[in-house]
Amino acid sequence: MDTMLLSLRGIYKWVNTGINRTFLLKDINLDIGEGEFVSVMGPSGSGKSTLLNVIGMLDDFDEGAYHFMGDAVQGLREKQRAALYKQYIGFVFQAYHLIDELTVYENIETPLLYKGIKTPERKAMVADMLDRFNIVGKKDLFPTQLSGGQQQLVGIARALIGGPKLLLADEPTGNLNSKQGEEIMELFQQLNRDGVTIIQVTHSEKNAEYGSRIIHLLDAHVEKK
């Protein structure tokens, strides 16, 4: 494998309800190398989003070891974890999760504000991204004035603007028609060729095949094929 980006060892996540314990993740062992494009598949409720959220450090886990670029994530303080996330990870959601009160421009700019990047540099970076995604003409519109495909492009631009090493996408084409979905997959393929590691959750075999490896989840664990 290429250089290791992250590894999960014996990861468990659960919720206790009364005397019952429900496992959301069960003994997950996973290595992802830099430059991989991995697809996660599995039935609804099998733990795909939970796994992605754990990898993306948006969710905690209860047991096991998670190493990201050499750092033991379980040993990090909240602040250090947030710093890792900001520096290295971009997240794309099925429902876009754009901020409706902000324009396209402002949505894309948001991560740079959190990173404390100065105005002139910020402007140049956002302009670059608008240009690259062919949405310069949409920059002053609000998310609700865009089609689903355009909203997802904005979501992806926002995820990429910080120059992440790892792009996580949870059913990114789930709300799109097949043509829009294909465009997103081609974009991911290009990003991956440019060196971005990608982990996507998808229900579509066709989309999964854009990646180089498929991980099947079933009942909170990785299914052995």
Residue numbers at the binding site for ligand ADP (CB under 6 A): 15, 24, 42, 44-50
Among residues 48 and 221, whose Cβ is nearest to ligand ADP? Answer: 48
Residue 138's binding partner out of Mg ion, ligand ADP, none, with CB under 5 to 8 Å set by partner kind = none
Among residues 58 and 141, whose Cβ is nearest to Mg ion? Answer: 58
Among residues 88 and 93, whose Cβ is nearest to Mg ion? Answer: 93
- CA–CA distances in Å: residue 39 to residues 43, 67, 141, 171, 204: 14, 20, 32, 10, 10
| Residues making contact with Mg ion (CB under 5 A) | 48-49
CB of 51 to ligand ADP, least distance (A): 7
CB of 106 to ligand ADP, least distance (A): 29
- CA–CA distances in Å: residue 86 to residues 11, 105, 115, 136: 23, 19, 7, 25
Residue 45's binding partner out of Mg ion, ligand ADP, none, with CB under 5 to 8 Å set by partner kind = ligand ADP
3-state SS, the chain, equals CCCEEEEEEEEEEEEEECCEEEEEEEEEEEEEECCCEEEEECCCCCCHHHHHHHHCCCCCCCEEEEEECCEEHHHCCHHHHHHHHHHHEEEEECCCCCCCCCCHHHHHHHHHHHHCCCHHHHHHHHHHHHHHCCCHHHCCCCHHHCCHHHHHHHHHHHHHCCCCCEEEEECCCCCCCHHHHHHHHHHHHHHHHCCCEEEEECCCHHHHCCCCEEEEEECCEECCC
CB of 70 to ligand ADP, least distance (A): 27
Residue 47's binding partner out of ligand ADP, Mg ion, none, with CB under 5 to 8 Å set by partner kind = ligand ADP
CB of 23 to ligand ADP, least distance (A): 8
CB of 202 to ligand ADP, least distance (A): 11
Among residues 121 and 223, whose Cβ is nearest to Mg ion? Answer: 223
The residue nearest Mg ion at its CB is: 49
CB of 94 to ligand ADP, least distance (A): 10
Among residues 48 and 221, whose Cβ is nearest to Mg ion? Answer: 48
Among residues 10 and 45, whose Cβ is nearest to Mg ion? Answer: 45
